């Protein structure tokens, strides 16, 4: 597998897209805030989504116009197969690293 570099925010947004299967920016912000316990701006989310799309990790498509949005269409994002593989690979790598942490190191969290 070719190594693809992802920043922490990119990885988090990619995992959220994977969780939701198909979602738009506002949904991503709500899930982010619920799980990370921090707020995030919509422009920040859209910048990350554009980067992920450029890397081939997510695809986007427009939904139908809705009366609630004054006829504007929402842009939906979903992960590509490559996006899933990269996220899964990163999770496996982290798990492997954590498995190498000596059990005595866990005592530090108890202090």
Note the pLDDT tens digit of each residue in 61-95: 998 887 776 778 889 999 999 999 999 999 999 99
Please give the model's pTM, rounded to 2 decimal places.
Answer: 0.84
pLDDT value for 66? 78
Distance CA 36, CA 11 (A): 13
User: If you average pLDDT over residues 90-109, what whole number do you get?
Assistant: 83
Cα 41 to Cα 28: distance, rounded to the nearest angstrom: 10
Give the list of residues 6+ apart from residue 58 with CB closer than 8 angstroms, or none.
14, 17, 49, 52, 77, 78, 79, 80, 83
Provide the pLDDT for residue 110: 61
pLDDT of residue 111: 53
- pLDDT tens by residue, 4-46: 789 999 999 999 999 988 999 999 999 999 999 999 999 999 9
């Amino acid at each position: 597998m070719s190594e693809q570099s992802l920043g922490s925010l990119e990885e988090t947004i990619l995992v959220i897209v994977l969780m939701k299967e198909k979602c738009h920016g506002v949904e991503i912000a709500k899930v982010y805030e619920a799980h990370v316990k921090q707020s995030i701006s919509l422009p920040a989310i859209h910048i990350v989504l554009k980067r992920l799309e450029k890397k081939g990790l997510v695809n986007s498509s427009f939904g139908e116009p809705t009366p609630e949005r004054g006829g504007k269409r929402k842009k939906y994002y979903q992960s590509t197969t490559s996006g899933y593989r990269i996220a899964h690979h990163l999770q496996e790598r982290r798990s492997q690293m954590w498995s190498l942490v000596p059990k005595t190191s866990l005592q530090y969290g108890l202090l």
